[in-house]
Structures are given as C-alpha cells and as structure tokens.
Amino acid sequence: MTHADTTIDPSADIAEEDFETLGDHHRMAAHHFAAAAKHHLLAAEADDDGDDEAAARQAYMAYRHQLNAVQFAEIATMDSESMDDEDAMELAGS
C-alpha cells in the first residue's frame, strides 16, 4: 500500500440507499470504519514519506468515512428492538 494509491476500490462501494435492516446498518458502519482505517494507513505512510498534501487528503477521507460509520452505528443502535432501556443502562455501567 503506497500513499500514491489514494483510492479505495470503487467496486467495493455500497449503495447506502439500499440498506434498510438493522444488519444492513451494521454492515454499512463496518464498511465505513474499514475504509477509514485504510485511509488512516495511507495518511500515515504519506506522512512518513514527507508528503504533507497526500497525508492531509487521506486524513480528510478517513475522517469523512469515520463520520459515516458513526452515523450508521448510531442508527443501528437506535433501531435495535432487542435491547430495552434497562439492558442499555446495564451495559453503560449505570
């Protein structure tokens, strides 16, 4: 993996509007977290090579994917019917 390779495989892109189930939201969160990780690795490599422009571009892409991942993770959590308020409080340590 080199910092010159600034794209993530476009064939791996998933049409977000096609996702409706709880599992689909979890898959989208995972997809975006994985893409964020790839971009962070590219940013780190670019930084190691002294390529500030590529590092900044990759960091920005990682951040965007992270925002999308968190959004899908929150949707999955809010839509979860299997967890009631008491279970959520117990998991949170309250």
CA atoms within 13 A on the CB side of 82: 4
- The one-letter code for the residue type at 55 is A
Q: Check pLDDT > 80 for residue 22.
A: yes
Average pLDDT over residues 7-13: 47
Whether the pTM exceeds 0.85: the reply is no
User: What is the per-residue pLDDT across 52-83, written as a single tens digit (0 to 9) for each?
Assistant: 999 999 999 999 999 999 999 999 998 886 66
Domain ranges of the chain: 20-92
